[in-house]
Chains A and B, each alone.
Chain A
Amino acid sequence: MEKKELPRLAFFSFTCCEGCQLVVLSCEDELPDILSLVKIVNFREAMDQKSDVYDIAFVEGSITKAEEVRKLKKIRKNARVVVALGACSSTGGLNCLKNRWPMEEVKKEVYGKDALRSELFATLPTRAIDEIIQVDYYLHGCPISKKEFLNLTTSLLLGKRPDTTNHPVCVDCKMAGNTCVFEKDMTCVGPITRAGCDAICVTYGAICWGCRGLVDNPNTDAHAETLKRHGLTADAVMRKFSLYGTCKTRKC
């Protein structure tokens, strides 16, 4: 039997913490099986080899520099399939907070006044990668869900479109048996945030911060009213929605 060419996977990092790629590496039980079915040709966090020849590109990180735009476009050209890995690349993630101020002010704040005069600190407003290239699939979350990564990878290897979750975190939360945080005098953005995370944050005693982005057809107005009813000012509501969502709510 002739050996079929194994699909080549490549991982890329733009402006990110590489935490999503770390989640991939933490799939210790499944990696042996996966590695017998694919060839990983580029993965900065895990190995030295690099390659420009690959089929599936997992891209982590937001775009904040001109050279990243160039590199991203090259990845799109090389890859058959591009997967946005994590919140930073899918929706812009936390990196979008920067966009609430002019870039010059941000530069000054972080690097000092002298930075304004240097080209070393060139920075663009944060963008999700789909604002520059066509993205085939998204793995949402900060960080991604191990289960979703494995599901996506096995789906691609089976030649099928991966399942996507389009219902709010509330479903996952109730399925996990959690008491709603609103009953406990806390507030969260679960009702308009895309589930698929099994509501892990609430299950462990915290709230949902919306790291996985909005569902496809969110009723943000209605949820803003809910938050106000629970004591948040309009400004506080705006800030809650903006934590992970600035890039998608403000066009930069």
Chain B
Amino acid sequence: MSLSVNQTKEGLESPYLPFPGVIERVTRVTEKERLFSIAPLNPSLLEYGPGQFYMVGLPGYGEAPISITSGPGETKEFELCIRAVGNVTNALHRLKRGDFVWLRGPFGTSFPVDEMRSKDVVFIAGGIGVVPMRSLIKTVLKDRQGFGRLTLIYGAKSPEEMLFSEEFDGWRGKGLEVLLTIDKPDTKWTGNVGVVTTLIPKVEVAEGRTIAVVIGPPVMYKFVILSLRDKLIRPEDVFVSLERRMKCGVGKCGHCQINGCYVCQEGPVFRLSDLKDLPEAL
């Protein structure tokens, strides 16, 4: 039985028709976030790169752009970590194993992993930015020898809001230095307190040999970029992932535009030096 019925008119198919995936596993990560393991009925949907996203939807509720958080080379399932903020994401949170979700994608640009080979990489994640960052980290750690020093700086508002903390030791074991910081510590927190920029000075940077990847809430970028400039990391060597409102995911509806650029097509991954032509970006 075909669950997605397309029409072909004049040799064209609708780019708006979603395809079904089955929820294999749901894990409650924090109060607001859940990790979903999804098996798409069409395996070609698994050909994604770190940084890309799916338009994930449910009939009656709509679609939302969700970054992929699983690593590469998955043959059956991919993972999405979803925060419940609106109609679609709240509806997704009510789903359980065996339920359908509806997918279009993967869309967007991915991080140029090959450009990072043999270099040191500093991953700077703020809040929910760690979700797409995880996909990149997993991709890089899969081939650890191909890269230089790897450092993750991850800042969350509070310890309860920290994501994937049970995976940090595993990442450390694979050769990723994990530096954590919290805005509002609880009594148990013994680590760094402050925003991610407080940890950037602690990272040893080899000039010309370091790539930085920055993903976080809109307000974070300006400050992080100034800190990176202080560390003499060139804008050509900095990659960011930018979010915008997305509705169609195929570069038509116009909502995701940063100046003249459709983020769903030419982003969400951008090289910082390219953003000088996009003043609305940061």
**Contact present between A and B (CB < 8 A):** yes
For chain B, what secondary structure do more than half of its interface residues adopt (helix, strand, loop), or is it mixed? Answer: loop
A112 lies within 8 A of chain B by Cβ? no
A159 to B60, CA, bound (A): 10
Per-position 1/0 for A153-178, Cβ under 8 A of B: 00000111100000000000000000
Chain B interface residue bracket vs A: under 10
B94 lies within 8 A of chain A by Cβ? yes
- For B90, the chain A residues whose CB sits under 8 A away are 159-160
Per-position 1/0 for B56-92, Cβ under 8 A of A: 0000110000000000000000000000001100110
- For A159, the chain B residues whose CB sits under 8 A away are 90-91, 94
Nearest-CB distance from A30 to chain B (Å)? 16
For chain A, what secondary structure do more than half of its interface residues adopt (helix, strand, loop), or is it mixed? Answer: loop
Nearest-CB distance from B255 to chain A (Å)? 14
A161 to B62, CA, bound (A): 12
A186 to B91, CA, bound (A): 46
Nearest-CB distance from B101 to chain A (Å)? 16
Nearest-CB distance from A4 to chain B (Å)? 14
- Of the candidates B61, B86, B87, B90, the one having the most CB atoms from chain A within 10 angstroms of its own CB is B87
A98 to B94, CA, bound (A): 48
- For B61, the chain A residues whose CB sits under 8 A away are 158, 160
- For B87, the chain A residues whose CB sits under 8 A away are 160-161
- For B94, the chain A residues whose CB sits under 8 A away are 159
Nearest-CB distance from A97 to chain B (Å)? 37
- For A161, the chain B residues whose CB sits under 8 A away are 86-87
- For A160, the chain B residues whose CB sits under 8 A away are 60-61, 87, 90-91
Nearest-CB distance from A175 to chain B (Å)? 16
A14 to B160, CA, bound (A): 46
Residue of B nearest to A162 (CB): B87
A249 to B105, CA, bound (A): 48
Nearest-CB distance from A22 to chain B (Å)? 28
- For B91, the chain A residues whose CB sits under 8 A away are 158-160
- Of the candidates A158, A160, A161, the one having the most CB atoms from chain B within 10 angstroms of its own CB is A160
> What are 13 inter-chain pairs, A to B, with CB distance below 8 A?
A158-B60, A158-B61, A158-B91, A159-B90, A159-B91, A159-B94, A160-B60, A160-B61, A160-B87, A160-B90, A160-B91, A161-B86, A161-B87
Give the B-binding residues of A (Cβ under 8 A). Answer: 158-161
| 10 new A-B contacts at CB < 8 Å, known A158-B60, A160-B90, A161-B87 | A158-B61, A158-B91, A159-B90, A159-B91, A159-B94, A160-B60, A160-B61, A160-B87, A160-B91, A161-B86
